[in-house]
Amino acid sequence: MTGLSSNGDSVSEGELAAASAQYEFVLDSDLPSLRASDQWWNEDVHKRRLHEGSDKALAWLEPFAPVSLVQALPLQSARTEWGPMQAAAIAKELRAVIRERRKAKQPHDELLRALYGACLLADFVKALRFEYVQPHQLARFVDIRAVQSTDLHYPAIGYQAVEALGKTDIKWLVAAFGEPAEHRPVAQALAPLIQGAVSRYCWEELRSSSSYGNDRADMQKWLAWQVGIRLQIEKDDAGRASDRLARFERDKIAVESLPQAWAATRQSFVVADLETTGLDSAVDDIIEFAAVRVSPQGAVLAEFAALVNIGRPVPPFIVGLTGISDADLQREGQALVDALDAFLLFVGAAPVFFHNAPFDQGFVNRACQSTNRKLANPVYDTLVMARAVWPDAESLKLRDLAWRVGAPEPTHRALSDARATLAVLLAARDAKGVDAPG
C-alpha cells in the first residue's frame, strides 16, 4: 500500500531546512562507488550464491557472527533470500539452540556471542535507512571493509541500547561475560557505516539524475527535494482531520467484527495488497494487485500478482518507492478490467484480509464500480486485529509489525506486502490463541 497526495499545508522553507540538517554529512562525503567485492551485501549476488550453493552465501554474517558456527546449526532464517534482513529471526532461532544447550549443561558462550551479533545486526538493519529507501536497498552501499574494522563486540557496545536484545538475552550475557564497560547507542556506534551507505546512495542517485548536476549545491537541492516529499506526506496525513470521525466509526465496526475475523482464519482465506499512484481512491489509480491464498493451517496454497497499465505516467515518487516504472506497466500491465477480473477470480468467495483495509477496499470498490464488477467477499483488517493482540505496539504500520514478528520487511511491492501481512496475521492468530484446524 503506497501513495502520495497533497491535501495538507505546504512545507515551509524553515521546516525543510531543519529536517534536511540531519543529512549535512552527505554534502561533504562524495564517496567513490563500491566494487562488487567490497559490498557488504548485495541482494542479487546473495540470491545467486544461494541458488549456486556457494560457500560465500553467508559471508555477510562474519562481522556479526562466525559463519562456521552458523553453518553448523540448523538456522533456516540465515539461509533465505533476505539475508541480513532476517537478523531478528536468526536471533530467535539462536535463542532456542541456547536454551537446549543450557538445559543439557553444555558450553554455549560462542552461541551467546552469535546471539548478541544477530541482535546488533537487527538493530543495524533497522537503522540503515534514508527517507523511504529500505534497508535491503541501502545494504549494497555498505563497505565491507568498514564493517570489518568496526568493533561489534559486546564489551564495546554493551546491551542497554541494543533494542533487539530481550531481557533473558541480557541476563545470559551478563552472567557469561559480566557487565560491559559502557553502553553505546547502536546508531552512534555504527554511524560511520550508516552514514557511508547513505552518502554513497545519495551521490550515486544524484549522478544518475538528469535533473541535477553533481556538485555540493546540486546535492543540497536533491536532498531538499527528497526530504520535502516525506514532509509533505506527513503533512497530508496530519491534514486529514475531517476523516477522523468516519475512521473512528469504521474502526468501531471492525472491532465488533473481530470474532468473525479470527474465525475466518480457520478456513481457506486470502491476504491481499495493492500498489497505487496515490492515497485518494477518487483520483489515483491501482498499478498492482497481489494476493496469497492460504490454508486454514497457514500454508501458502497459491500466489497472484498483476500489474495494471494505467495509460499515464507513474509519479516519480511512486517509481522510486515501488520500483514500478512506466516501462514495466507498458510491457507487463493489463487493462484494469482484465487485472481486476483475474484478481476476483483468484480471490473467489474466500474471506479477504488487507492491512488497513479501508484504503485498499476504497480502491477496489472504485475499480469495481468503473467496470461493473463487485467484491462481495467478507473483508477484514489485519491492522485492527494486530491492535487487539498488541495494544502496546508503538506503531501498527506493516513494516513495524513485520519487524515485531520477525518477518521479512515489506518492500512496497504488492506481493511482498501481502506476504508480510500474512506473517503478521498468523503471528497475531498464534498470540491470540486461535487454533488452526488439525
Active-site positions read 412
Contact 17, 228 (CB under 8 A): no
Q: How far is CA 306 from CA 82, 355, 435, in A?
A: 23, 19, 33
Alpha-carbon distance of 438 to 428, in angstroms, equals: 18
Question: Cβ neighbours of residue 22 under 8 Å, at least 6 residues apart?
Answer: none
Alpha-carbon distance of 25 to 4, in angstroms, equals: 28
Query: At residue 219, what is the residue type?
Result: M
Alpha-carbon distance of 188 to 247, in angstroms, equals: 39
Alpha-carbon distance of 36 to 287, in angstroms, equals: 33
Q: How far is CA 118 from CA 89, 368, 420, in A?
A: 9, 46, 21
Q: Supply 302's cell numbers.
A: 497459491
SS (H, E, C) 110-143: HHHHHHHHHHHHHHHHHHCCECCECHHHHHHHCE
Alpha-carbon distance of 342 to 245, in angstroms, equals: 35
Alpha-carbon distance of 178 to 250, in angstroms, equals: 52
Pairing of strands 300-307, 352-354: unpaired
Contact 42, 140 (CB under 8 A): yes
Question: What is the chain's Cα-based Rg?
Answer: 23
CB-based burial, 277-301: b 16+ in 10 Å, e otherwise: bbbbbeebbbbbbbbbbbeeebeee
Alpha-carbon distance of 171 to 187, in angstroms, equals: 23
Query: Backbone phi, then psi, for 210, in 5-degree steps?
Result: -90, -5
Burial of 168 (0-12, 13-18, 19+ CB in 10 A): exposed
Contact 372, 346 (CB under 8 A): no
Q: Supply 248's cell numbers.
A: 473512528
Q: Supply 19's cell numbers.
A: 529536517
